[in-house]
Structure 1
Amino acid sequence: RIASTTIPPELDENGFYMQNYVNHPEYFMAYNSGIYYNPASAYIRNRIADGAAEIAEKYDVDGIHFDDYFYPTDDESIDAEQYAAYVNETEEPLTLHEWRTANVNALIAAVYSRVKEANENVQFGISPQGNLENNEMINADVYTWCAQAGYIDYVCPQLYYSFENEALPFETALQNWCALKRLPSIKLYIGLAVYKAGTDADNGTWLNTTDTLAKQIDRAKEAGADGVVLYAVDHLTGENAKAEMANAVPELERFKEAQQN
């Protein structure tokens, strides 16, 4: 994602988008006042992969971490021209959904390859949405990334739900991800919503509780996950999450001990 409605408020005239959107509109997609790189473009895929490799090579980082943004919508209009061009030059073209998914997979594979070439010790992982159906809609092919080599080192689904979440309870989402076919080399880390602790999120099911995170950490451990990731760092010491974090820390220590043993 290059820009949302208000972030940044203005794009640099010398930046990549401003210098290229007229002559190379195929590099970009627009949706709901947002601007996105188009993974259908081989040039864009290489640009993103090169950027990740530059970080892996030149900086002392443990990993490269992608969030859950791929195609911003399943609306057919955002890349209609590019898809039409692909169909016209292909004898047996993929459907739009298949084509978009293949584009994202090509991007992920390119990033993984370039990162490992730059520094084989740097991990590359993705934090997709916690709802598997939502991932499929935005062409995030977690099934392939987890089951085949050459895409990721770890997956960290955003299980940002309370146990009582009506749309998708935490336990259901956890079981879905633990059941996903995954290579032994690919780690499963469970993303937890510290930012919801002590708030009225999920119809108020985070209110009047001080041990939701602790229970979720324990369940992730019992279910066989390789670890947890707490989102977001600025909430770890916030007042809303203070009681939850006090109970979560001992569970984190127990999880760590279990992994070491």
Structure 2
Amino acid sequence: MFKKIKAKTIAVIMAFAIVFAGVPALTIAEPCNTVSQAEAAQAKTTRKNSSRKKSSKKKSSKKKSAKKKSSKKKSSKKKSAKKKSSKKKSSMKKKSTSKKSSKKSAKKTSSRIKSAKKTTQKKSAKKKATAKNTTTTQTTSRNSAQKKNTQNNSSSRKGASGEAKTFQNNTSDVKPADNIKSKTVPKSTSKKTTKAKKTSKKKYTEVRGLWVSVYDYPSLGLKTDSKATFKKNADKLLKKMQSYKLNTLYMQVRAYDDAAWKSKTFHAMKYISPKATKLGYKNASKKAASTLKFDPMQVMIKEAHAKKIKIVAWMNPYRCSTGSNDYYLDPANGKSQSRVVNAVKEVMTYNVDGIVFDDYFYTAVLGYKNTSGIITRSAFSADHWLKASKKRQNVNNLIKKVYKAVKASNKKATFGIAPQGNLENDRALGADIDTWLSKNGYIDYLMPQIYWSNNWGSSHTKMFSNRLKQFRKSSLNKNGRMKYVALALYRSGEKPNQSSKWTDYGWSKSKSNIASQYKELKKAGCEGFSLFSAQFLNKSAGKAEMKNLKKVLSK
């Protein structure tokens, strides 16, 4: 029994091997003589049927997989085709929208270009118009003070520093493509120009002056009968002023009832003319028009204005001479007043920027005398004992007349007074500070001579600060005409007198007194200063002070 089962299993295994290997059944089955022929035939048929079924299954599975693959490929192709079509549609839409937007932007850019061109054309037209106006005004008045670089038509100690900058609007040079990017390009440039103009105005409104005294003329080379020499040395002085940022020259043209111009009424100033000095006392009977070989004041005005420096004529009203026998015009006498006014009128025929009087009014000398037909008071006259209020009244009569004469000649010209820095002394000498700083019709500005430092006396008093506060006090400076301060450059490096309790120590202990005083007066609301005097620009101590002042002025 066991042998039969074993033989059957071996035969089945061999049959499967023959089917898969493709070897003839007889050759393989020959060793097994135990299997019958009928059984072998049945096994063979069953094997063939099973192999056929398996092959058919394989073929059907292959067909199914092929169908699936083809269907997948078709679906993927359809999807990709749909995606491509959708992409094409979206791209077409984008292109159409971009075309529309580009058309719109092109329209906008063209409109912007047109508007930019219009604005630049308008601006260029305005520039041409202004240029024409300026050229016409320059040709009509060559000797007039130039508009941009001269500042206030003010006072005896005033002026403008630096040159005005002109700014051009460069929008006309910008290409249309650049203007398209930003509409605000031309606007921003115009804003910058307005700001620059504002700053330049600030620079030119401040007075930075220099007093040129008759005692300065010889050392400055201005006492000469040669016009060429005078012009050369005047140019040298003016250039030095420019280097120190100064802009207003206060030229003393009348010191002792004389004239630094070709006057037909007054004799020539001996401090500016060697010929007048040689004439001596005979000079008083001759007129400056015949004595002077050229007109010093006219030359100085022309040279100063060419450098954009203002020039103010400095005049002493009453003083006729100095020395042991001092003579003064009588302030109470109408003829004396007329003589002073006539001198002012003569000077105003020149192209000066203003007139300034200094502190010489009534004096401490006993009385007045008659001399050379000029109306004066005799010694020990009653006028010496006049009350201060009466003196101020007499002086005010003259001041009002001078103010009217200046304005009648040139409304833009200024008239100012530079009194002492001591209010009580001013009032006693007839300088009516209170009226001048509260009422109209007298002066355009006041410039007190505050010639002290802030280290004065044994108590080291801040004298400059104290006097500045007195003059700037609102109860006194009611009309705001206390505008400028005269500063003591002449005291630079001054050695103190140790034996005097009134000595001013500040000038020997510091080289920046003027610079500090400038800062203080600016802080107090003043509009400028003037330095006394020109010859001290060449002194070593004066140079040290000016070096420190220049640093402050350059900021």
Same fold by TM-score, threshold 0.5 exceeded? yes
**Residue-by-residue CA offset, 1:83-105 (whole Å, 9 max, x unaligned):** 59xxxxxxxxxx63222211101
**SS of equivalent residue, structure 1 residue 10:** helix
**Is residue 489 of structure 2 the alignment partner of residue 194 of structure 1?**
yes
Where structure 1 has 5 or more consecutive residues not aligned to the other structure, the ranges are 17-27, 85-94, 255-261
Alignment of 1:56-205 (within 5 A): 56=348, 58-73=349-364, 75=366, 77-78=367-368, 79=377, 81=381, 83=383, 96-166=387-457, 169-179=463-473, 180-184=476-480, 186-200=481-495, 202-205=503-506
Give how far 1:250 is off: 2.6
- What's the counterpart of residue 87 of structure 1? none
- What's the counterpart of residue 14 of structure 1? 285
Q: Which has the larger radius of gyration?
A: 2
**Is residue 537 of structure 2 the alignment partner of residue 236 of structure 1?**
yes
**Is residue 353 of structure 2 the alignment partner of residue 52 of structure 1?**
no
Q: Structure 2 CA distance, aligned partners of 1:82 and 1:168?
A: 39
**Residue-by-residue CA offset, 1:49-87 (whole Å, 9 max, x unaligned):** 12112211x211111111110001285x44564659xxx
Q: Structure 2 CA distance, aligned partners of 1:147 and 1:11?
A: 45
**Do 1:156 and 1:189's aligned partners in 2 also have CA atoms closer than 8 Å?**
yes
**Residue-by-residue CA offset, 1:117-166 (whole Å, 9 max, x unaligned):** 11111111111000101101211111111211111111110001011123
Q: CA 1:168/1:48 → structure 2, altered by over 3 Å: closer, same or farther?
A: farther
Higher mean C-alpha deviation, range 155-164 or range 165-174: 165-174
- Structure 2 letter corresponding to 1:248: L
- Structure 2 letter corresponding to 1:43: K
Q: Structure 2 CA distance, aligned partners of 1:64 and 1:146?
A: 18
Q: CA 1:177/1:252 → structure 2, altered by over 3 Å: closer, same or farther?
A: farther
**Do 1:74 and 1:137's aligned partners in 2 also have CA atoms closer than 8 Å?**
no
Q: Structure 2 CA distance, aligned partners of 1:13 and 1:227?
A: 37
- Structure 1 letter corresponding to 2:285: N
The correspondence for 1:38, drawn from 292, 317, 330, is 330
Q: Structure 1 CA distance, aligned partners of 2:281 and 2:436?
A: 35
**SS of equivalent residue, structure 2 residue 541:** coil
Higher mean C-alpha deviation, range 126-135 or range 161-170: 161-170
**How many correspondences in the alignment?**
230
**SS of equivalent residue, structure 2 residue 328:** strand
- Where relative contact order (Cα < 8 A, 6+ residues apart) is larger, the structure is 1
- Cα RMSD for the two superposed structures: 3.0
Q: Structure 1 CA distance, aligned partners of 2:390 and 2:322?
A: 18
- What's the counterpart of residue 25 of structure 1? none
Give how far 1:234 is off: 1.6
Higher mean C-alpha deviation, range 59-68 or range 196-205: 196-205
Give how far 1:249 is off: 1.4
TM-score, length-normalised on structure 2? Answer: 0.38
**Residue-by-residue CA offset, 1:183-240 (whole Å, 9 max, x unaligned):** 14x2510110011111225444311311111110000001111111111112123212
TM-score, length-normalised on structure 1? Answer: 0.78
- Structure 2 letter corresponding to 1:181: N
- Structure 2 letter corresponding to 1:112: Y
- What's the counterpart of residue 217 of structure 1? 518
Q: Structure 2 CA distance, aligned partners of 1:129 and 1:41?
A: 24
Question: Among the aligned pairs, what percent are the same residue?
Answer: 32
Q: Structure 1 CA distance, aligned partners of 2:405 and 2:382?
A: 26
Runs of 4+ in 1 over 4 A off after TM superposition: 28-32, 77-84
Q: CA 1:30/1:60 → structure 2, altered by over 3 Å: closer, same or farther?
A: closer
**SS of equivalent residue, structure 2 residue 283:** coil
**SS of equivalent residue, structure 1 residue 206:** helix
**SS of equivalent residue, structure 2 residue 483:** strand
**Do 2:450 and 2:487's aligned partners in 1 also have CA atoms closer than 8 Å?**
yes
**Do 2:537 and 2:543's aligned partners in 1 also have CA atoms closer than 8 Å?**
yes
**SS of equivalent residue, structure 1 residue 64:** strand
Higher mean C-alpha deviation, range 167-176 or range 189-198: 167-176
Higher mean C-alpha deviation, range 242-251 or range 201-210: 201-210
More helix by share: 2
Higher mean C-alpha deviation, range 46-55 or range 152-161: 46-55
